[in-house]
Structure 1
């Protein structure tokens, strides 16, 4: 794939319906991108793809560097990231980042935007999901058992995407970000954050979207895949 094209395996509505026991090896996902988000089999933890390396952020707060050949994913979104816009700025909260991205990309309301932020963070609040406890357990129930962690005065990286409203259910509409510390020891799905002064922000607007759906997967074939917009908003924070 070319730079700044979105590749996605499966859809968020499948996770909402508990479709999370099968999927391709993560090595297949990395053929399409080096920057992204996702989850692991049975929704066990949060995935961050940073510079082509894959990390699993677990509910206990620990982080594991993943072997992409021997680990599968039921859902992931990646791109071959090449920033088209950079900015140094202080960002206070997800609302502040939302406003900054809108300023940087005023004509991207109906496009995807890939984002990376590097620097020191005054505070980062994250959550991580512990995974399914029974087959076909949906994401709302899985995330009801999520754990939260707060990191203060840490250096690290935020990776994520802004997705247009019309893809809700296919992906997560709006801003969706994961965080990992510079030492790759802590991280999770961002609930809120604040930078310690200026940080380096790089981003790219994207207009090409590639979707690969599961095949030979009875869970996916049997799932209703009805849009659960409020449930998605609740679990994604």
Structure 2
């Protein structure tokens, strides 16, 4: 994190708190609902039994992937899209299934205009100052105009499945320049690494709904930040043979997740 990012975040956070009161932020009464584990994806468990229709009874805001690792899922405002490795974005269908997804009912306690250009690192520094406890989940949404957003999208896999680090070795990346769109995601506590993704996990889609993906880096021109703290986590585990026989706690799990998310 650069000194410039710290100064920018501190200034915006101080101005917001001066207008809206002091920390700590109120904690939402909702919960994070998750199907399967991130360590399952790392191990190559790419099939789940949870349909999107079932998933969205637990929340309409979140992200994940699809069976066969067929692209990235993004959901908000009662709409969800599948972002595929060919660069397309299409509305999802209720019968589609997911091997890993995280959703909630989004109830932000911060709603803050961002009126100056900020890097992704600066936005994260701002969130860390507005929601300083790393021990709770933080649901995040940023709508705005972006100078650039770089994403990647996982290509569809076929059996016999490769471990995730092999599957993403040839994943395509996309550069969205001068677009309007929405970032959706979560900041998860360090202690859930392997269960989820510790730290920031963010997906993007354009306002035209014509592309997006898992966010690698971005620069915001101006926009709106919303976030809320969540203290409840519910996990539904698969019962298929792939999951039951997978090594879900390998020695290099933390490094593997960091590499997969980079």
TM-score band, normalised by the shorter chain?
Answer: over 0.9
Which residue of 11, 14, 31 maps to 1:5? 31
- Bigger Rg, which one: 2
User: CA separation in 1, counterparts of 2:156 and 2:86?
Assistant: 12
Q: Distance in 2 between matches of 1:222 and 1:94?
A: 38
Structure 1 residue 225 and structure 2 residue 248: aligned? yes
Of 187, 195, 212, the residue aligned with 1:170 is 195
- CA distances 1:91-130 after superposition (whole Å, capped 9, x unpaired): 5333112201111112x21110000010110100000010
Whether the aligned pair in 1 keeps the contact of 2:29 and 2:230 (CA below 8 Å) is: no
- Separation of aligned partners in 1, 2:29 and 2:97: 24
> In structure 2, how many angstroms separate the alpha carbons of the residues matched to 1:32 and 1:22?
16
- 5+ residue gaps, structure 2: 1-27
Residue of structure 2 equivalent to 1:14:
40
Unaligned runs of 5+ in 1: none
1 CA distance for matches of 2:119 and 2:168?
22
More displaced 10-residue stretch of structure 1: 120-129 or 18-27: 18-27
- Check if 1:32 corresponds to 2:55: no
Superposition deviation, residue 3 in structure 1: 5.3
* SS of residue paired to 2:49: coil
Distance of 2:78 and 2:145 partners within structure 1: 22
The list of structure 1 runs, each at least 4 consecutive aligned residues, that deviate by more than 2 angstroms after superposition, is 90-94, 133-136
1:92 to 99, 114, 118: 118
Name the count of aligned residue pairs: 232
| 1:136 Cα deviation after fit | 3.1
Quote the residue 1:46 is aligned against: 72
Q: Which residues of 2 match residues 200-219 of structure 1 at below 5 A?
A: 200-215=224-239, 217-219=240-242
CA distance in 2, matches of 1:148, 1:61: 9
Q: Is the 1:121–1:155 contact (alpha carbons within 8 Å) kept by the matching residues of 2?
A: yes
Q: Structure 2 CA distance, aligned partners of 1:133 and 1:142?
A: 10
TM-score by length of 1: 0.94
Question: Once superposed, what is the RMSD of the aligned Cα atoms?
Answer: 1.3
**Aligned counterpart, 2:138:** 113
Structure 2 counterpart SS, 1:116? strand
TM-score by length of 2: 0.86
CA contact (8 A) 1:3 1:81 kept: no
